[in-house]
Amino acid sequence: MEQVEVLDVKKAEKPKKNWFKELLPYIIIIIVVVLIRTFLVTPVQVDGSSMYPTLQDKQLLLLKKYDHTYKRFDVVVFHHRNARLIKRIIGLPGETVEYLNDTLYINGKKVEENFAKNSETLDFKLEDIDYKVIPKDKYFVMGDNRNNSTDSRIIGLIDKKMIQGSTNLSIFPLDKLGFINK
């Protein structure tokens, strides 16, 4: 007679899966991505032609949120009337700004600009927006496409608290991948 082995169904129970252990790496990844986008860097898209030819409409940039030290000619993103604008810092706190015959003067001294070559800048003085000197924690910003830019000549000086961060890296389209010029 042939022997048949009988399996006890109770002994062959399946091991319990710990669903939380399996989800934990995904939860950590989501938290890390949210923290990075909230506090370090986030993508921003150019909307319009005010920064042409440096930046094109729909170009994607990487915004540095962690760096709050701004220098002349940095490209910054800031809030203005429920919109995010991208402009270039021209004047810093404590300075005077003037354009005369398409030439930038800071504190009365000529300053070379290498990015707004195809756009004529009309004569302008800081006094035109009721300031003699840029106050502490305020900046004078302009778009590189001077004839098509809503900037400090129109909206006034930008408060440092309004600035979300600076950008100098383009990530899309791929033919524009790399650092943007200053």
Residue 182 has pLDDT above 90, yes or no: no
Query: Taking a C-beta distance cutoff of 8 angstroms, is the pair 76, 141 a contact?
Result: yes
What CATH architecture does domain 19-173 belong to?
A: Ribbon (2.10)
User: Which residue among 50, 119, 149, 170 is the active-site one?
Assistant: 50
Task: List, for residues 30-79, the tens digit of each pLDDT value.
Answer: 999 888 888 889 999 999 999 999 999 999 999 999 888 999 999 999 99
166 is catalytic: no
10 is catalytic: no
Average pLDDT rounded to a whole number, residues 5-9: 57
User: Which residue among 64, 87, 138, 166 is the active-site one?
Assistant: 87
Query: Taking a C-beta distance cutoff of 8 angstroms, is the pair 124, 82 a contact?
Result: no
Beta bridge partners of 111: 104
Task: List, for residues 110-130, the tens digit of each pLDDT value.
Answer: 999 888 767 788 999 999 999
Average pLDDT rounded to a whole number, residues 104-109: 96
Beta bridge partners of 86: 77
CA distance 143 to 124: 14
Residue 7 pLDDT: 57
Query: Taking a C-beta distance cutoff of 8 angstroms, is the pair 77, 84 a contact?
Result: yes
